[in-house]
Amino acid sequence: MKLTSSMAYKNPQEIMFGKAIKPVITKRGLKIGGGNVIPEIVPHPRPGREKDKGTLIREFERANDDALERCVNVGHPYLVIENEHIYQMTNNPSWGGEIAAQTAHQMDEYKDKYGLIAAYRSTIADIRKPDIVNMRDSDQTRKVFESFNECARHSDIVSIESMGGKEIFDYSIIRNDITGMLFAQAILGGRDVEWIWKQIVKIAKKHNCIPGGDTDCAQANTAMFMAGGFLSKNIPHTLAALCRAISAGRTLVAYECGATGPGKDCAYENPIIKAITGIPIATEGKTSACAHSALCGNVIAAVCDLWSNEAVEFHDMFGGSSAAVFTEILGYDAALMNASVELGYQKQFQACLIASDRYRDPQAFILCPDNAWTIGKAITDNSESCFTRARAAALKCGELILGDPKMMLTAFENKSLLDYLKELDSLPDNEGDFIDICLKKYSKVKGFNPASYGF
């Protein structure tokens, strides 16, 4: 696999929401990244609806129909619906397939009846837990691919939140071990993403389905979640920021294997990915407060193509079901961004999105388009290996945070960051040497099976 060594965007000022260098077109003609921001709604079933196939299919039928209907009722012209598989949908591949077929049918009906252009993304659950199964050879692995096959037949886009490296990452993050995190994300994660995405792309192409993309949710979002708000004392926010920069190299592998975007909403590294690849991306911010808190609620929209809500449990609200309500909110946000484009105010609008979060937290700061682009440049300038580009991204990320006096840090956050950068600097320059050190260092971590990654 050839690693990316140039930037799709020659400067950060060119990157704008709604428009990507390499837009994609779905089965019903929805152009993503073609000039408009499009809402992407992600409804999640209520507890108990997973008890059998019938109740689950009915749950998604209602949720997805509510989303489509609300678009028609308030005049949102485009919609992407993502159904993230719950465990049962991938563990029983026909379940996910039947839900995909049902949703495709619903979308066809709304198109025929009202002209609404919608697309469906199936995100397969990665049920391969690295410390439980061999990632490359297990029943769970086979079910994951079977699910891709079942869903790609009916869906417009397929994606996954892959789990490679999670066992070493979880061990490392709670021990403040940036070396272990780098090994988990860049080396183990990178290898697993390559292994799985080469196969996903083949499956998607066979079914005329778009191979969307991956996310380092299992790792970088664990760090973001643990970092929490300003009162949390779990891990430093500067560590979560470095972790995000590292994650970009891992997620990038999927696109190097043939994924075309739209990237997954929960990949907060996506602004870096868009700067490097030019593919359209989904992002989520204030609209995903229903699922988790974050410190980049506005800025993360600055270069989005799909605007998502992460996941909202399907239930009744005063204004209708949560699927309908969040579709309406997302659609109005998208309308606002699209109106700014129509009026020629998009740069000003984007500047407001950025300014409102830029110095809120280092995690937001590094995702501002200028900083995301600079981190991307560090990645492409250090394309000798997954290791070199991930380390370069982390070092650049730290340099940016420390280099802007308006980026306030507590003394502890500051000292932690300096310590991480020192540790990253001390690592060997060669990927092979780094891998040798890490295979030895982490050999006794419970459940770590190097064979899962081809070692």
Q: What does the binding site for another protein look like in residue numbers (CB under 8 A)?
A: 44-51, 86-88, 91, 127, 129, 132, 163, 170, 173-176, 222, 226, 230-231, 233-236, 291, 313, 347-348, 351, 354-360, 370, 406, 408, 410-412
Is 369 exposed, middle or buried (CB count within 10 Å of its CB: 0-12, 13-18, 19+)? buried
Residue 361 CB, shortest distance to another protein, in Å, is 9
Q: Give the residues across from 320 on adjacent strands.
A: 317
Q: Rounded CA gap, 327 and 371, in Å?
A: 30
Q: 311 is written with which tokens?
A: 């996941």
Which amino acid, one-letter code, is at 138?
A: S
Return the number of the residue (311 or 397) whose C-beta is nearest another protein: 311
List strand residue ranges (DSSP E) for 260-414, in order.
282-284, 306-308, 312-313, 316-317, 320-321
Return the number of the residue (145 or 225) whose C-beta is nearest another protein: 225
Dihedral sign, CA of 389, 391, 394, 399? negative
Residue 87 CB, shortest distance to another protein, in Å, is 4
SS3 126: coil
Residue 205 CB, shortest distance to another protein, in Å, is 29
Residue 302 CB, shortest distance to another protein, in Å, is 11
Residue 188 CB, shortest distance to another protein, in Å, is 16
Return the number of the residue (190 or 236) whose C-beta is nearest another protein: 236
Return the number of the residue (79 or 299) whose C-beta is nearest another protein: 299
Residue 15 CB, shortest distance to another protein, in Å, is 14
Dihedral sign, CA of 425, 427, 428, 432? negative
Residue burial 242-262, b: 16+ Cβ < 10 Å; e: rest:
bbbbbbbbbbbbbbbbebbbb
Return the number of the residue (94 or 348) whose C-beta is nearest another protein: 348
Return the number of the residue (370 or 399) whose C-beta is nearest another protein: 370
Residue 345 CB, shortest distance to another protein, in Å, is 11
The pairing of beta strand 282-284 with beta strand 306-308: parallel
Q: Rounded CA gap, 256 and 6, in Å?
A: 12
Residue 174 CB, shortest distance to another protein, in Å, is 5
Number of C-beta neighbours around residue 338 at 10 A: 19
Return the number of the residue (205 or 347) whose C-beta is nearest another protein: 347
* Rg of the chain (C-alpha set): 21
Residue 350 CB, shortest distance to another protein, in Å, is 9
SS3 content of the chain, % helix, strand, coil (to 5): 55, 10, 35
| 312-315 CB contacts, 8 Å cutoff, 24+ apart | 312/42, 312/43, 312/44, 313/43, 313/44, 313/45, 313/46, 314/43, 314/44, 314/45, 314/46, 314/59, 314/62, 314/63, 315/46
Return the number of the residue (132 or 336) whose C-beta is nearest another protein: 132
Residue 218 CB, shortest distance to another protein, in Å, is 8
Q: Give the residues across from 313 on adjacent strands.
A: 44
Return the number of the residue (107 or 124) whose C-beta is nearest another protein: 124
Q: Give the residues across from 124 on adjacent strands.
A: 160
Return the number of the residue (371 or 382) whose C-beta is nearest another protein: 371
Residue 309 CB, shortest distance to another protein, in Å, is 14
* The residue to which tokens 């909110």 are assigned: 329
Q: Which region holds residue 385: left if phi is over 0, alpha if psi is between -120 and 50, else beta?
A: beta
